[in-house]
Amino acid sequence: MCDHSDIGYFYEPNSKNNANLPAVFIYDQYPGGIGLSAKIFNIFDQILFTANQVISQCDCQDGCPSCVGPAGENGLGGKPFTQAILNELLTV
């Protein structure tokens, strides 16, 4: 069991750590870590695949809270844009 505040993240659109390409960094916020970010790293492909399945199997057209989150946060077209990003990440 964990709390959403156990994991932190930040992103860099042009990361020096990734040849000036975008990068997302996920880390344990608990002092000394509890291993959540390491587990995410080890199963990241599975997480992307499962997220893509959830979105693909959702009956909505544009995205909803059940698949990509509230439209107010993601804007119209959240579902196709999210699927495009996931498909790109899954081919890398």
pLDDT tens string 61-77: 888 888 887 765 555 67
Could you give the 3-state DSSP secondary structure of residue 57? helix
Residue ranges covered by each domain of the chain = 1-42, 43-92
Contact, 8 vs 24, CB < 8 A? no
Instruction: Please name the amino acid found at residue 52.
Output: N
Average pLDDT for 1-19: 90
Please report the pLDDT score of residue 63 as a whole number: 85
The whole-model pTM stands at 0.77
